[in-house]
Homo-oligomer: A and B are copies of this chain.
Amino acid sequence: MGKTIPVLEIFGPTIQGEGMVIGQKTMFVRTAGCDYSCRWCDSAFTWDGTAKEEIQQMTAEEIWQRLAEIGRDCFSHVTISGGNPALLKSLGGLVRLLKAKGIRVALETQGSRWQDWFYEIDDLTISPKPPSSGMETNFAILDEIMDKLTANGRTVHMSLKVVVFDERDFAYAKHVHQRYRYIPFYLQVGNDDVAGMDEAMLRTKLLNQLRWLVERVAYDPEMNDVRVLPQLHTLLWGNKRGV
């Protein structure tokens, strides 16, 4: 099974809702499994067992077939998300296959594990988790990941993203930004109503939180070169899966 990839969802074309390529037309491949269990995880079905029956072990070639089937000739960008796709050494094969097909590849991971195929990702988002997640960052590992990527000239192909729910998260975000100050840095508004609040209320709540975060950043001189963003897909489609 070393060469197969546990896949939970393949969907698109749609747009990337967050981070460094927000708005980009893309296809999504969502892998199963995570080494974290964030309190507010919006894709807990990838690791909490509830979608166990939906996991398919697929080869890179099979994933490509499926992408081509639903995306037809209407995509040039694929986003791999999770769970934590960085758990999967076998993803390297998919990344290389996509690149060979002329596809740009984006991937998000929390930065708890290294994989050599990180070097091949066009838009790599490292999103260490703030205190509100209940997780603790291993900065020794994160340092190593950031050092390797920086030393290999990957800084234009990567970014850091921290989700912020509250003041403690904000302080954490600041620490991360200071620690890796030459890496493009994104702050993202937290969304903890993953259980499906009314869409209009969710929207109002998210926009209120975005306003707060913008105000919080505005007069903080340690947060000058940052980007503050919501999750567009949540504003558009609430917490629905597969859009």
A interface residues, Cβ below 8 angstroms from B: 12-15, 21-25, 72-77, 104, 186, 200, 203-204, 207, 210-211, 214, 217-221, 223-230, 232, 235-236
Q: What residues of B have a CB within 8 angstroms of the CB of A204 in the complex?
A: 200
Additional pairs, 11, CB under 8 Å, beyond known A23-B227, A23-B228, A73-B221? A15-B217, A22-B229, A23-B229, A25-B223, A25-B227, A25-B228, A74-B224, A76-B224, A77-B224, A104-B225, A211-B236
CB distance from A25 to the nearest CB of B (A): 6
The residue on B at minimum CB distance from A211 is: B236
CB distance from A105 to the nearest CB of B (A): 13
Cβ 8 A contact of A221, one of B14, B74, B104, B228 = B74
Bound state CA distance, A227 and B26, in angstroms? Answer: 9
**Complex contact A14–B225 (CB within 8 A):** no
The residue on B at minimum CB distance from A235 is: B207
**Complex contact B186–A23 (CB within 8 A):** yes
**Complex contact A22–B25 (CB within 8 A):** no
Given that A22-B229, A25-B228 are known contacts, is A14 also in contact with B207, CB under 8 Å in the complex? no
Given that A211-B236, A230-B232 are known contacts, is A217 also in contact with B72, CB under 8 Å in the complex? no
The residue on B at minimum CB distance from A208 is: B236
**Complex contact B72–A225 (CB within 8 A):** no
Bound state CA distance, A230 and B223, in angstroms? Answer: 24
**Complex contact A217–B25 (CB within 8 A):** yes
CB distance from A130 to the nearest CB of B (A): 18
**Complex contact A219–B15 (CB within 8 A):** no
Bound state CA distance, A186 and B12, in angstroms? Answer: 19
Bound state CA distance, A12 and B25, in angstroms? Answer: 31
The residue on B at minimum CB distance from A204 is: B200
**Complex contact A214–B227 (CB within 8 A):** no
**Complex contact B15–A227 (CB within 8 A):** yes
Bound state CA distance, A228 and B77, in angstroms? Answer: 14
Bound state CA distance, A22 and B229, in angstroms? Answer: 8
Cβ 8 A contact of A225, one of B12, B25, B236 = B25
**Complex contact B76–A225 (CB within 8 A):** yes
Q: What residues of B have a CB within 8 angstroms of the CB of A210 in the complex?
A: 232, 236
Q: What residues of B have a CB within 8 angstroms of the CB of A74 in the complex?
A: 218-221, 224
Bound state CA distance, A219 and B217, in angstroms? Answer: 38
Cβ 8 A contact of A214, one of B15, B200, B214, B228 = B15
